[in-house]
Amino acid sequence: MKTPAVLLWFLATLLLCGLTGWEAYRKGKESLGREQMMDIIEDNRAAMQEVRHAYTDFSRVINVIRILDQQRITEGEQRREEMQKAVQGDTCASAYPP
């Protein structure tokens, strides 16, 4: 009678160890997957930060270009006004060609 009881106890212990091992393996895979996802998220966060910095730099460059363009337009208008004032008193410049 002792042999079947010992075998039953051994099988139950083996089954319990197997289930515990399987659960540990499954949790290890989940943990590894979670760590990989966190690494991916961190990489994405770093990439987004680089994009933000690039956008900030781009915005600064665009603002400088706009300022320079506005200055160029203003200087062009001033030159045109000066040329118009210079031509107003000149009868030859205001005459039609023959």
What H or E segment, with its residue span, contains residue 12? helix 2-88
Side chain identity at residue 31, one-letter code:
S
Q: What is the mean pLDDT of residues 66-94?
A: 89
DSSP label of 91: H
- Measured CA distances, 74 to 60, 80, 87 (Å): 21, 10, 20
Rounded Cα gap, residues 57 and 62, in angstroms: 9
Q: Is 55's pLDDT higher than 90? A: yes
32-48 confidence digits (pLDDT tens): 888 889 999 999 999 99
**What are the boundaries of each domain within the chain?**
2-82
